[in-house]
Structure 1
Amino acid sequence: FIAVLLVVMVVLVFWQVWQAPQPSARFARALTSMDGNEVFPSFSADGRRMAFMSVKAQRLRLMVKDLHNGNSAEINHPDGLNTGPGDWSKQGDKLVYLAASAQRCEYYTVEIKGLTIGEPRLIHRCPAGSYGKVLFTHNDQRVVFSENAGPGTPYSIYELDLTTQSKRRLNQPDLYLSGNSQFDLHPHKDKLLISSPDKQQWEGFYTLDLTTNKLDLLFKQDAYICCGIWDHAGENVILMGEHPAYQLLSYDLAGKNKQVIFSGSRRISLPRRFNNGADYVFLSGDKHTDIQILDLESGEVGNIANDTVDELLATFSTNHQVIGYISMASGKEQVWKYDLASGERRKITAFTDSRHYLDLHWSPDDRYIAGLTFNELHLIDSTTGEVTVVDFPQTEIRGVSFKSASELSFSAKEGERWRVYTYHTDTQSVTAESPEWAFIQFTPDRDNTLWLSADHTLYYSAQQIKADIPGTPSAILLNGRQWNLRKQDSLWYWYDREGPGQIKRFHAQNGSIESLAESGVGHFDVQGRSLLFINSSESQSNLFRTISQN
């Protein structure tokens, strides 16, 4: 239940090949080799022990490993709470960490001698559904942590005095998307580096002085990127390279002077400083996603794309002859088409940048594929791959669908409320729909169109009939920025995030619900008797340390 966001990207800076600096590290070696995922490392002051989270079979465990002999110990809670992430005190004798379940959220400290773990001490209770991050400051009696008000609400950063138990909300960037959950402590000063998106969905990098509570913006990037950290000197910002990332990059505090500090053959995410003053640790794994198709009558499952790279966002064309999808086969995200009759696959775009799409939709005449990025809408010609950017301010966009062959519908925030807008392809203009509606999912068959009102009531069909389906319809209508709930006549489909993740079907005529397919990825499409869904390879990732050449 703790989403490990794997977010990467940088603004391109061009120079001649012979001017490009050589990486200071060219090799990496594994620090962990366990089954599952190992994430969020923290190193003790003596450099001997590493705390990290191990994620396996829906269970999160905080581990402590001796890097000299390879032995490890687990921080257990008798009540079965999931544990992690955690952070070492500057003296190296304590860990502060999160322990949580769907019903509880708590922060603890625990004394550790070698691999002998003491009794946990509760220091703070946070709202259930708040799965945050916590760090010791350079004063071991103070910690900084993030929490929200519950599922779906943005995170804020707080400081807690362990002696007085006083808590204060720190000065921080305005809250957008998931808020302020990503921060790093300066290696020598009580100063945070905060990574936070703005209204335009640009990633901003800020410094916060914990003594004066003064917040300063360093720089922003219009890129698919996240989670900057300080370098070892605290004079530069370390980020991952272009999507998909195979490099660690250093920027000065103005976002300039880009330097490659590590380049390798493994995909990189979530870098941390190693404790030798030179190297870095990153997460890398072998997981990839494939596209499968399920015959809803026979139950037969077939493969559409099952290469050793990510293939995502599979969507049926309106005429049901072609599937559009994203593939990383060329090294960057490209839009591909799969012909259902012949099985032929063809790449239709030739992007050279590092754009990242969150959703795809075909126009009713199959002329266009609409592509949603973090802050833009693109119209992609389904034959030539030519792209037109919708003229709309950069912002968070959700719920994309075609109202007609020449009208593209989407929702964006107007103040604090969501509102539906229509882009007219013939005039390249945008008009606002009635404020009565927060989201409208248009379909070629208007009986299957879904309407969500501003008061969170769901309706269907052109006649706007109130929907009567299980659960809270407004809560399952969207999965992030994608449509999650679909209607086909008397059948309703949605992705259930609980457990391993399942695509479900509700029969309105008899009230029954059935599970159709397991999927670790929420995106799916259904048309006629066919269901497209994403299958993930078994997730396994480990922590790697760069090896400096110096």
Structure 2
Amino acid sequence: MKTFKVFLIGLVLSIVLFSSIFAEEARLLRFPDIHGDRIVFVYGGDLWAVSSEGGMAQRLTSFEGYEAFPKFSPDGRRIAFTAAYDGNGDVYMMPAEGGEPRRLTYRPGRGQPSGGLTLDDWVIDWFPDGKEVLFRSSRDAFPTSKLFRISSEGGFPEALKLPEAGLASFSPDGNKIAYNRKSREFRTWKRYHGGTAQDIWIYDLKTDAVERITDWKGTDNIPMWYEDKIYFTSDREHTLNLYCYDLKTKDIGKITNHKEYDVKWPGLGPGAIVYENGGDLFVLDLATEKTKKISVEVPAERILTRSTWEKVDDLIIDFSLSPSAKRGLFSARGEVFTVPEEKGEVRNLTQTPVIREIYAAWSPDGKWVAYLSERTGEYELYIRPQDGSGEEKRITYDGECYRLPPVWSPDSKKLAFSDKKLRLFYVDVDEKEPVLVDQAEVSEIYDYVWSSDSKWIAYSKNNPAYFASIHLYSLDKGKVHQITGELTDDFSPVFDPAGKYLYFISARTFSPTFSDFERTEYVYRNTRNIYLMTLQADSLSPFAPESDEEKVKEDEEKEEEEDKNKDNDKDKKKDKNKDEKKSKDIQIDFENIDQRIVGVPIKSGNYTRLAAAEDKLFYLAMPAIWEWGQSGGGQNELHMFDMKEKEEHTLISGINNYDISSKGEKIIYKSGNTYGIIDAKKGKNKVGDGKLSTSGMEMKVDPPGEWEQMFEEAWRLERDFFYDPNMHGVDWNGMKKKYGQLLPHVAHRWDLTYLIGELIGELTTSHTYVGGGKMPRSKPVNVGLLGVGFEPDKKTGFYRFKKIYKGENWEKDRRAPLTEPGVDIKEGEYLIAVNGQQVRYPANPYQYFEKTVDKQVKIKVNDKPSASDAREVTVKPVGSEYMLHYLDWVETNRKRVEEATDGRVGYIHVPNTSLWGLNEFSRSFYAQARKEGLIIDVRYNGGGMIPDMFMEHLQRKILSLWSPREGLVGRTPNVALHGHMACIINEYAGSGGDAFPYYFRELGLGPLVGTRTWGGLVGISRGLPLMDGGYVTCPEFAFINLEGEWDVENHGVDPDIEVDNRPDLVIKGDDPQLERAIQEVMKKLKEEPRTLPGRPKYPIKR
């Protein structure tokens, strides 16, 4: 059982006077609710209570799991709230004056995004009689969340009939609710006008009648029903304020007039509404409709803001190897560390816990470590002695945007680096004046390297076709030479240390791999090989033909004499040679240089990260088949090619990345969170060999300082990466000031996520996300699920298996526990016991399945509500039923189409436009391509990639027929629909789900049926990491239509035929959108039948 720290207000009051000495006025007070003279709110992740007049607040809870959405019971004696005490957001209840929380719900859903947290069950309200709690959950609903009711004493939750719902409020008599059909409260997108814009509806719990009462293109949300009025927040005048809908007159009036900050999370109590604004609490008197700010003080403890020592080896963002391979170099949580190979201590070179340093690089002479630091507010280049002693030296003074990793020249006098503005520079560490090398037109320049004489920089640069070409820059002449053409994709250049060759990777090998599923589908895999270019016109290829020849005696004697003379010369010049340069200036002959390219004799593959040492090449071999979400991490092999032996060797497998020492004798590798140093020799190396003790990477973390840094960096990243340099007209400096002034009040990492979300939300665009980071989290306790819908038999006290979901048991993530072979349980039977424990209503059956995911569980079942003659069955619960609910929904739709069209029309649902969507499309399209028609359903499509691959299949046309002697006439292409189509859309189809119907319409494939889509067509290509492992995303490109206009973003794709799946119709079992799509396709089949000719008469050829 959990041990909770609980606080009784009566005890706390006795020390209020003492505590006020150590108190401070608090802001960022979240999710308030009010009853009479008391307000409950969340601060620092815990529940607090305060007088409605303000003053000293009293803590109600103290636990590492976050609490949210507190709601007073109608009599004010209890508080229901959501808490993540076991890693899952569940409903809890506690006395209003403090006490131990009691858990009411146990079943996990798929999780509802909650501003950086994932809370499954949101407390919404109390039923007016105070006997039940209303909450929102994704547990039973695909594809949206629904409202549920549960007794305040616990028990089994029951779903309301509404097919989807957001926040809600009861009418005074409890017979109706005002509600939002959708929930967007945690979206970091202000002034949203797309398809999921919220309106207020009224639902009659007795008759199932619904009525829409607001119709604003933006946000109308969080309804609160008081007497004959419904209060809500709306952004009708730019900022979210409180408005009121009069049920008698149907008029809407504005109540508050906040201009700087939005009104957030209002909570309704008897005669008053409390709400957040700019981190403060305000109370609205409903009788006078006047509002006042209340000042709240909290004891100045702020436990989560105190400095602590923490290990940071789980936050390493880059690594490399010292020149002699005695130490590894790491950037982690904003600091630069060196870790010894075996002996010595871990060193923190920078020791600036509230300033971020990244991209550390060790100078070849071993003296210096270079890195980027944002201590000035912009990333500048610094160097400091490698042992941590001595002063840091600033190298650049012109930072204006995000910069990429510095690379030392071999003479340790210069550094090359690039930036977000597509520029490549080098800088002399003494002169400190960056020199512009080149500026790209397409994308950043990443792979820049130095020649051994430090006088040339090689790099690749993309052309408009996104093929890269190799370029060389001469420091002496300040001139760029492009040395490979536009028709090949060439990258990862690296100089031969002797200056004879330039090595690079290129995709030049084309051998198609045909699908074993569809013969017209093919891909090119393993197109890359390693090539070298001779830099001098008279240099031979290292792979030129060789021949063993017999030497005659006279030649041998002559060679011996010459050798003696050479030895004498060496002795005479020995002292002089010590002072000479080890390498001569590299001469490069550019005439016909592209004709002096030869391939390294290895098999083509998927190669990357090329490096060179004397007579050795190193490179990563990645898996040939790339899957969505797979970066090759843990699957890569490090290969070495010996130029003398002309042989390839595998040095180590199962790694993510690597670096080599200056002479190529040692290697540092990364595999997950394991780092090690090994010899660069052929042999049987494995992950774990030479493991470095990174656990010694510790630092003292200053949370408030770190939070301020991450806020600043998030602001800066959006400034540098956002596709519109004008920031959509937003005063971006002003936004930093507006939300930055709240930073001193951050008491929990989630507060920072909230602030950053508010900041980036001001850009009024999709795909601005924030999440992750080092948040206090409770240890998760999983709950096993059987893939069933329980129904309590209240008369007998047993639970009935009302519905058993079918899966695809041949796939692990689609397994349905009760339909697996040997599990003989039928719908209508009863659950009697779980692992020997009797299960009886009103106990929640899911509480018996804690810690059972993927474990064998013995349950007793019976075909009657009795323990007598019950049989025992062993089952293996799953951790989520989401996929089972999805499959059930899709199969229901498919059968409905099949029955309505006598099998003439097929049905495909596309859940997203990434791997899952591609797989579902392929499973269904090929099997139904010879039907007369097809309905493509992209409702609830979660996006992913641009869906041009889907369109290539859907737009195929039959080009010819082929007649065999027996069997059906064939087609070319073999898989193509020669029929009519319709596409169903709704407000939950977004991003790639916006692009899908847009392209469908552009190609003239058929009508769009449904409602306007989400409206999010800007794109992100990467998550930008923050110091503590959190991230922000930034839209780096935006959609333009072929008329040259910005399109779709913040509006969506309009349907050709608008059909809303009204709640009252869906409750009856209807799907008006699907039904209309069926009608449209069948109408087309009747009016414009599409047939292909049959086999003609065989020819007579004499």
Structure with the higher fraction of residues in helix conformation: 2
Q: TM-score, normalised by structure 1?
A: 0.48
Structure with the higher fraction of residues in strand conformation: 1
Which gives a bigger RCO, structure 1 or 2 (Cα 8 Å, sep 6+)? 1
Q: TM-score, normalised by structure 2?
A: 0.26
